[in-house]
């Protein structure tokens, strides 16, 4: 049993982790930058340590400083949340070598799944379908050959990429010659790895991910799938579980393959295996994310499984004690961001008036309050509104009701609440005909 856990993150995921620890009887240590001094997670934790200025590279991404906080607080485990250092194998290794438990996959596993090319090789081995493309990293001449063979449009992806970064869609040979050196430079700058690979660009796909939990004893439990097709600039905005586009037969078949993949790489902790689903109903493996996802609450709402709490239990060596999982009803999550709903530009400011929704089937995960100043230094997420309904239609109606109740106002502050209303009211979303390019089409 952990006695004290350091939460190496901020915002709503830090609040979520602290709540899980309180229920498990574990003391918590919050770390915070100078910009987050008044944050709720700082007030909720048993201890709090300032780790530097607002600049994340000098605070939440500063490994030596965070490790100093671990040592000073005598924490016996570190919870990374999502973003920042959550999928950094070097950080996981340093934590591990210091005699402290990293609440997540092993450094070796993080390195493996962080390499998109190696992970695709394993996916192919266990029978997961792959998008047609290069077998490994390519130079410009090989990229041209592959693109000619599989046909345009294609997409250039950073081998070490993630989070929607390091992606370039290419429409023709001229486009490829122009974008290849730019993509190489971006991959090097963003991930310290200039390697690129080429894939066929799937027209109007859906983004489907399978949530898994796995313990250190070889047990894997697949908790069903989520659909995350409402995105802007490859960043998710609305997620739902289960997907109305996945049949029960597909669900069972893919769950077996996902389980095999996780066992093959010796995975433990929470994670997601991500796919594209084309218009003909074919799945294509994209990647695995070795962390908790922002959208995990929709799976919790339909399965009743506390995924974050299980992250801690697994890290403490417990075996999974989850019986047969069957989704009950439908859940939808809407990410409420401090951004202009017309162009998605960040819109930080002070929250002067705040009212968040409630009532039957409504959950809100947030770290904001009236009087809170939204800093410009981090992700613009203010809150996640999650709704549940016995049918997808009921969940959509409940989502609209919850959005109508939501009030977040402040001088100069804008949110995307109205954008979410537009999506949920759209005929395409109601009929399940949306895809990853839907937002761009809607904004035209």
What's the pLDDT tens digit per position in 305-333?
999 999 999 999 999 999 999 999 999 99
27: domain CATH number? Answer: 3.40.50.20
End residue of a domain, out of 177, 200, 223: 200
- 154 and 96 in a common domain: no
For 393-430, write each residue's pLDDT tens digit: 999 999 999 999 999 999 889 999 999 999 999 999 99
pLDDT at position 164? 64
Distance from first CA to last CA of the chain, Å, rounded? 53
Contact, 203 vs 152, CB < 8 A? no
Whether residue 339 is contained in a domain is answered as yes
User: Which tens digit of pLDDT belongs to each residue from 266-295?
Assistant: 999 999 999 999 999 999 999 999 999 999
Q: Tell me, yes or no, whether 261 and 338 share the same domain.
A: yes
For residues 252, 256, 259, 263, the Cα torsion angle rounded to the nearest 10 degrees is 170
Cβ–Cβ contacts within 10 Å for residue 344, how many? 18
Distance CA 226, CA 163 (A): 17
- Which stretch of 25-39, 73-87, 123-137 has the lowest confidence by average pLDDT? 123-137
User: Phi/psi at 209 (nearest 5 deg)?
Assistant: -130, 145
Q: Are 217 and 191 contained in the same domain?
A: no
CA distance 369 to 355: 9
For residue 437, which of 247, 180, 187, 153 has the smallest C-alpha distance?
153
3-state helix, strand, coil in the chain (%, to 5): 35, 25, 40
Give the end of a domain, one of 103, 121, 156: 103
Q: Catalytic: 251?
A: no
User: Which pLDDT value is given to residue 236?
Assistant: 96
Question: Which structure tokens are listed for 84?
Answer: 């920042």
Q: Say if residue 190's pLDDT is above 90.
A: no
Total domain count, the chain: 3
| 219 and 319 Cβ atoms separated by less than 8 Å | yes
Residues 233 and 347 in one domain: yes
pLDDT band for position 129 (cuts 50, 70, 90): very high
- Cβ(421)–Cβ(233) below 8 Å: no
pLDDT band at 55 (very low <50, low <70, confident <90, very high): very high
pLDDT at residue 336, rounded to an integer: 98
Directed axis angle between helix 107-114 and helix 89-97, to 10°? 170
CA-nearest of 354, 239, 286, 287 to 113 is: 287
Asked, as a colleague might, if the bond just before 385 is cis with ω within 30 of 0, I would say: no
Considering the domain architecture, whether residues 257 and 183 belong to the same structural domain is answered as: no
* Per-residue pLDDT tens digits for 18-48: 999 999 999 999 999 999 999 999 999 999 9
If 0-12 CB within 10 Å is exposed, 13-18 middle and 19+ buried, where does residue 219 land?
middle
Domain that holds residue 143: 132-200
Q: What CA–CA distance (Å, rounded) separates 334 from 163?
A: 18
Contact 11, 38 (CB under 8 A): no
For residues 211 and 353, membership in a common domain is answered with: yes
Is residue 179 predicted with pLDDT exceeding 80? yes
What's the pTM?
0.91
Domain shared by 153 and 291, yes or no = no
From 87-91, 134-138, 221-225, 239-243, the region with the lowest mean pLDDT: 134-138
Instruction: Give me the catalytic one of 226, 291, 363, 392.
Output: 291
Query: Residue 443's pLDDT is what?
Result: 78
Are residues 220 and 242 both part of a single domain? yes
196 lies in the same domain as 210: no
In the chain, pLDDT over 70 holds for what percent of residues? 99
Strand partners, 258: none
Are residues 30 and 72 both part of a single domain?
yes
The answer on pLDDT for 366 being more than 70 is yes
Mean pLDDT throughout 375-399?
Answer: 97
**Using CA atoms, how far apart are residues 103 and 318, in angstroms rounded to an integer?**
13
Residues 233 and 261 in one domain: yes
CA distance 297 to 64: 32
């Amino acid at each position: 049993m952990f006695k004290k856990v350091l939460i190496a993150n901020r915002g709503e995921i830090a609040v979520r982790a602290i709540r899980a620890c309180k229920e498990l009887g574990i003391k918590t240590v919050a770390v915070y930058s100078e910009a987050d001094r008044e944050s709720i997670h700082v007030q909720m934790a048993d201890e709090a340590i300032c780790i530097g200025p607002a600049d994340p590279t000098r605070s939440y991404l500063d490994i030596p400083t965070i490790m100093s906080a671990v040592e000073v607080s005598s924490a016996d485990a570190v919870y990374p949340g999502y973003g920042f250092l959550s999928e950094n194998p070097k950080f996981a290794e340093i934590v591990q070598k210091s005699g402290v438990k990293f609440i997540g996959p092993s450094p070796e596993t993080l390195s493996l799944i962080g390499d998109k090319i190696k992970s695709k090789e394993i996916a192919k081995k266990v029978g997961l379908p792959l998008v047609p493309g290069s077998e490994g990293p390519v130079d410009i001449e090989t990229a041209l050959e592959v693109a000619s063979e599989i046909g345009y449009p294609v997409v250039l992806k950073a081998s070490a990429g993630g989070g929607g970064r390091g992606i370039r869609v290419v429409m023709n040979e001229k486009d490829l010659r122009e974008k290849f050196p730019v993509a190489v430079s971006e991959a090097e700058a963003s991930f310290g790895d200039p390697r690129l690979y080429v894939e066929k660009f799937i027209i109007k796909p859906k983004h489907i991910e399978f949530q898994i939990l796995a313990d250190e004893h070889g047990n894997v439990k697949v908790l069903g799938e989520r659909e995350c097709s409402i995105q802007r600039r490859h960043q998710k905005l609305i997620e739902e579980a289960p997907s109305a586009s996945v049949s029960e037969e597909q669900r069972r078949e893919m769950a077996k393959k996902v389980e095999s993949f996780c066992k093959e790489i010796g995975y433990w902790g929470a994670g997601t295996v991500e796919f594209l689903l084309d218009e003909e109903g074919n799945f294509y493996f994209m990647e695995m994310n070795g962390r908790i996802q922002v959208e995990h609450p929709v799976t919790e709402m339909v399965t009743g499984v506390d995924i974050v709490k299980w992250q801690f239990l697994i890290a403490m060596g417990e075996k999974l004690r989850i019986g047969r999982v069957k989704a009950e009803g439908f859940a939808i999550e809407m990410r409420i961001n401090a951004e202009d709903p017309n162009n998605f530009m960040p819109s930080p400011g002070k929250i002067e008036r705040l009212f968040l929704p409630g009532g039957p089937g409504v959950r809100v995960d947030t770290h904001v309050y009236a009087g809170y100043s939204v800093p410009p230094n981090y992700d613009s997420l203010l809150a996640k509104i999650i709704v549940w309904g016995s049918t997808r239609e009921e969940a959509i109606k409940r989502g609209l009701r919850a959005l109508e109740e939501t009030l977040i106002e402040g001088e100069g502050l804008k949110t995307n609440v109205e954008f979410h209303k537009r999506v949920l009211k759209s005929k395409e979303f109601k009929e399940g005909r949306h895809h990853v390019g839907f937002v761009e089409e809607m904004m035209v």
